[in-house]
Amino acid sequence: MPELSVVVPAFAERESLPRLLTALEPALAGIDWEAIIVVDDAFDGSEDLVRERAQRDRRVRCVHRVGRRGLASACIEGMLASSAPYLAVMDADLQHDETLVPRLLDAAKRDDVDIVIASRYMQGGSTGELAAERVRMSRLAAALSRVLGHGLSDPMSGFFVVRRRFLERVVRRLYGRGFKILLDLIAAARGEVRIAELPYRMRSRQHGESKLGARVIAEFFMLILYHLTGRLLPARFFLFAAVGLTGVAVHLAVLWASFRLSGGSFFGSQMLATWAAMTSNFFLNNAFTYADQRLRGARIWRGLASFYVACGIGAFINLAVAEWLYLQSFAYWLAGLAGALIASFWNFFTTASFTWGGAAAPRR
Ligand SMILES: Nc1nc2c(ncn2[C@@H]2O[C@H](COP(=O)(O)OP(=O)(O)O)[C@@H](O)[C@H]2O)c(=O)[nH]1
Ligand SMILES: [Mg+2]
């Protein structure tokens, strides 16, 4: 059995993958290693390049995921595909210095720690030529992530070595979505984790493009909320609720505009506003909350119709609950809030199975 599995998430990294596999060979000389490349389908033939290599080198394996996306889930599935006692996670794009891997492994063994992080922000480390804006964002995220209770210099790093025993202990508590698998692992440990950091200089990307985008930033906040609220609700609920809040803004904006333009027709304006908010909620949820299983093509319209039906019933429940509480002489705002909350649970759980097909099932 190899001592170390190098898990590499890859999406559209055709140019970089063969170079990385070639670079691992001398970098890991003297270590009994294997590499598990988790390739999400980008229709660019990345998986063929990895398999070609695997046919010549039995240490290399390809996990090809079809119809799936997600850096964190790719790392988790790659790590779970291994039986080695130590797991390294590193990017495919050659930004992570593979020559550091033996030292990460040594530190993990010597100091009896659970995770050894390659840090860009400690003395001796550097972000290389990463754009100034990206560095600012990354530092801000690092500061925010301290609310999860760790004084690490680079909790946003995507380059680290972890003990498999530790992974097994926390794997069922992971958020498992988005970009930040390291922060997820640390938060899921609830303080019971021993961590070491080593500095490294990040290289700049030579091939392909960065996949960081708006969705990744939204997911980051959801990851923090998920762990802060004690993982009570399915992770997806937080994104769904955030989209719901934007729906309130859309509703009020449309109501305001229509009420003014129509010269004071409240009922019609309220209907239009409700329709607009439901529609924008659907498309935002489809783009963000369910980004990993987005409805496309003709399925969008069927999904939209089912979303209208589910949320329409939700609105009715909202009214009924709020009215009943109000009649029980609860304060009007409390009655209103309770109605809205219960309706949002209804909307979430029904659209999860009805519109997006059972996707909300908590990952246990
Ligand atoms: N399997 C898989 N890998 C991904 C996905 N998104 C990003 N990656 C990989 O994760 C690594 C880091 O992504 P990158 O775009 O370089 O992020 P950046 O370094 O923060 O700009 C790269 O190896 C990407 O190919 C994904 O959805 N699935
Ligand atoms: Mg990168």
Among candidates 129, 118, 204, which has minimal Cα distance to 154? 118
What is the four-CA torsion angle of 90, 59, 109, 77, rounded to 10 degrees? 50
Q: What is the pLDDT of residue 360?
A: 41
Segment holding 335, helix H or strand E: helix 332-354
pLDDT band at 2; cut points 50, 70, 90: very high
Question: Is the distance from CB of 241 to CB of 281 less than 8 angstroms?
Answer: no
Would you state the pLDDT for residue 362? 40
Q: Tokens at residue 117, please?
A: 């992080």
Q: What's the CA gap between 225 and 220, in Å, rounded?
A: 9
Atom of ligand 1 nearest to the CA of 40: 1
How does strand 115-119 pair with strand 33-40?
A: unpaired
Mean per-residue pLDDT of the chain: 90
Q: How far is the CA of 312 from the centre of ligand 1 (A)?
A: 38
Average pLDDT value for residue range 188-202 = 92
Q: What is the mean pLDDT of residues 268-292?
A: 92
Q: For position 361, what pLDDT does the model report?
A: 41
Give the ligand whose atoms come closest to the C-alpha of residue 36.
Answer: 1
Q: Which ligand sits nearest to residue 13's alpha carbon? A: 1
The CB-side HSE value for 125 (13 A sphere, CA atoms) comes to 22
With pLDDT > 90 as the criterion, what percentage of the chain qualifies? 59
d(CA 39, CA 181): 16
The whole-number average pLDDT for the span 318-337 is 89
- Ligand 1 atom closest to residue 12's alpha carbon, by position in its atom list: 25
Residue nearest to atom 5 of ligand 1 (CA): 71
Q: Which residues line ligand 1 (CB under 6 A)?
A: 9-11, 13, 38, 40, 69-71, 74, 91-93, 95, 158, 210-212
- Kindly report, residue by residue over 214-258, the tens digit of the pLDDT: 777 778 888 888 888 877 777 788 889 999 999 999 999 999 999
Highest mean pLDDT among 9-13, 186-190, 218-222, 233-237: 9-13
For residue range 75-108, what is the model confidence (pLDDT) as tens digits? 999 999 999 999 999 999 999 999 999 999 999 9
Tell me which ligand sits closest to the C-alpha of residue 216. Answer: 1
Q: Which residue has its alpha carbon closest to ligand 1 atom 14? A: 210
